[in-house]
Amino acid sequence: MAKEKSKDIENPIVNPKHNSTLATLLSIIPGLGQAYNKRFIKASALFILFAAFVIAMMDFVSTGLQGLVSLGNVPREDDSRIFLSNGILSLIFATFFLTFYLLNLQDAYKDAKRIQLGWKVPNMRDGFRNAWDTGFPYFLIGPGLLLLIFVVVFPLLFMVFLAFTNYDLYNAPPRNLLEWVGFENFTNLFMISEWRTTFVSVLSWTLIWTFVATTLQIGLAMFLAIIVNDPRVKFKKLIRTVFILPWAVPAFVTIIIFSAIFNDNFGAINLQIIEPLFNTSIPWLQDPLWTRIALIVIQVWLGFPFVYALFTGVLQGVSKDWYEAADIDGASRLQKFRGITFPHLMFATGPLLIMQYSFNFNNFNIIYLFNQGGPAVRGQTAGGSDILISWIYGLTFENQQFNMAAAISIILGLLVATFAFLQFRRSRSFKEEGTF
């Protein structure tokens, strides 16, 4: 009570007749509350926007939401994909309208409160100037936000909704109507033996691939960066240029070349190295184990130059005084690495290294270009080297099992987002920002 009284003393009500509750209630019809507050230009603009939405979009939104529920009524005439798309657009427009409507109520209430406290309603010129000053940032980001919604959010929502339908090769519209099946696709993924075995196998390999390939490329890059940065090493510029060269060649070209080099029949690895030395050949493209080993080797080759460049840049910025002080204290090389070099590298590059793990988790190009996810595995719908993203591609474009592909995509997205979020929160770059 004492706090409320002190608040009233600090902000005395100058115009008690002006009712903020009435202004809010009048804003049930957008513009009336602002008119009550004598903000006539704003009231006119809000009412015009409200009327335009009701006249132009209300029918589309209501029809779209109905279609989102039914997904069509007459096979061959109604295309469920169009009904689903229109329904999602209707949800987006309805969200825009609801946001506009709530902001209209809030604006009327706040203006009424300020008028009670003696605030003078600005004239037309000042109103336009204030609106421009306040809304200029939103004016700049507005087009980008709209583009983001319709280019990113809309396809994501379409994919999410597909995961709860029966959209596959045998139920494809417009010949058939799609039906909502709830969580059946997710249930099948874990309850049906073939799906469960494939999912566990692919997920396990995806996690192994991500951890081993990324850790090796980071470890190799760190080792080389520290060695080359040693004062005793000569021709540093030449060596660094050579190490970064693999990064300069397009990954697409490199993977195709490696695919030929590792070919079982005419590849240089077998013909010129393995067979002369060991009198045998390795089935790089026919055995899942050897295919996976080859993929890890290729990814280390492709990925280490970028990380090497990062580490080299960070090492150039570490003060030599730190190492001189460590030498005076009698620190060994390992102690200097653990106490100076490694913390600086992780602090400066931690978020980017986390993104390396996230990137390799979804690294479709190398899996598909090297061996199309093969070799085939009996009893599974995925190849022996398929990771989740390449398996989703195969389900979508080769098997046309859009519903299962969408369900797996949701799981994949949640895994990547959760991992990235937790690791970002735990990284020293965020915990100790401003320390170094």
Degrees (nearest 5) of the Cα angle 240, 338, 352?
55
Residue 51 half-sphere exposure toward CB, CA atoms < 13 A: 8
Residue at 13: amino acid letter = I
Work out the average pLDDT over 241-252.
Answer: 90
SS3 (DSSP) at 411: helix
Work out the average pLDDT over 200-227.
Answer: 94
Q: Is the pLDDT higher at 127 or at 38?
A: 38
How does pLDDT run across 25-54, given as a tens digit for each residue?
A: 989 999 898 888 888 888 888 899 999 988
Say how far apart CA 90 and CA 108 lie, in whole Å.
27
Average pLDDT for the chain: 87
What's this model's pTM, rounded to 2 decimal places?
0.82
- pLDDT tier at 338 (50, 70, 90 boundaries)? confident
Structural domains in the chain, sorted by start? 2-171 (no CATH), 185-431 (1.10.3720.10)
Residue 292 half-sphere exposure toward CB, CA atoms < 13 A: 17
Which of 3-7, 76-80, 290-294 bottoms out in mean pLDDT, i.e. has the lowest? 3-7
Nearest of 364, 388, 243, 205 to residue 299 by alpha carbon: 364
Say how far apart CA 255 and CA 167 lie, in whole Å.
34
What number of residues does the chain have? 436
Work out the average pLDDT over 240-252.
Answer: 90
Sign of CA dihedral 359, 365, 371, 376: positive
Strands (E), 275-410: none
Residue 37: per-residue pLDDT: 85
Backbone angles phi, psi at 279, to 5 degrees: 55, 35
How does pLDDT run across 166-201, given as a tens digit for each residue?
A: 999 898 898 999 999 999 999 999 999 999 999 999
- pLDDT tier at 127 (50, 70, 90 boundaries)? low
Tokens 């022996």 found at? 384
* H/E segment holding residue 99: helix 80-116
Residue 7: per-residue pLDDT: 46
* H/E segment holding residue 112: helix 80-116
Tokens 């004016």 found at? 139
Residue 3 has pLDDT above 60, yes or no: no
Asked whether 287 and 375 are in contact (CB, 8 A), the reply is: yes
Work out the average pLDDT over 98-110.
Answer: 91
Work out the average pLDDT over 330-354.
Answer: 84
Q: Which two tokens mark 138?
A: 């939103």
Say how far apart CA 146 and CA 49 lie, in whole Å.
17
How does pLDDT run across 412-435, given as a tens digit for each residue?
A: 888 888 887 777 776 655 555 555
How does pLDDT run across 78-92, given as a tens digit for each residue?
A: 999 999 999 999 999
How does pLDDT run across 350-409, given as a tens digit for each residue?
A: 888 888 998 999 999 999 999 999 898 888 889 999 999 999 999 999 889 999 999 999
Calculate helix-pair angle for 193-229, 236-248, nearest 10 degrees.
160
* H/E segment holding residue 306: helix 288-317
Say how far apart CA 217 and CA 419 lie, in whole Å.
19
Alpha carbon distances (Å) from 196 to 86, 186, 368, 380, 390: 34, 10, 23, 9, 17
Residue 178: per-residue pLDDT: 93
Residue 12: per-residue pLDDT: 66
Say how far apart CA 287 and CA 374 lie, in whole Å.
9
Residue by residue, DSSP assigns 184-213 as HHHHHHHHSHHHHHHHHHHHHHHHHHHHHH
The 10 Å Cβ neighbour count of residue 39 is 21
